[in-house]
Structure 1
Amino acid sequence: MDEHPGGRPCPLCERAMYHRHCKYVCPEHGVVYDCADTFY
């Protein structure tokens, strides 16, 4: 079992996002952040 199923939580629904090609993708909402965002 994976202890770390995802990355940071989605700000919209709190589900774990995954990091792909310089983007954080929520399984529910799609791309939420990318490299151009300054919210880190």
Structure 2
Amino acid sequence: MDTASSGAPTCPHCEAPLYKRHCKYVCPQHGPIIDCSDPFR
């Protein structure tokens, strides 16, 4: 899935690297994508 950076997940919409903020992974363009408490990720 993500081979270029340090293992961070990428946005499923635009493939931008997500950054972690307040237990959420956030895309700079699309906002929060993954919640850390989501049992299905």
TM-score, L = length of structure 1:
0.68
Stretches of structure 1 lacking an aligned partner (at least 5 in a row): none
Mapped partners of 2:40, 2:15: distance in 1: 16
Work out the number of aligned pairs and report it.
37
**Runs (4+) of structure 1 moved beyond 4 Å?**
none
Aligned to 2:39: 38
Q: Distance in 2 between matches of 1:38 and 1:13?
A: 23
Among all aligned residue pairs of Structure 1 and Structure 2, give the percentage whose two residues are the same amino acid: 54
TM-score by length of 2: 0.67
Runs of 5+ in structure 2 lacking a partner?
none
Distance 1:13 1:39 in 2: 21
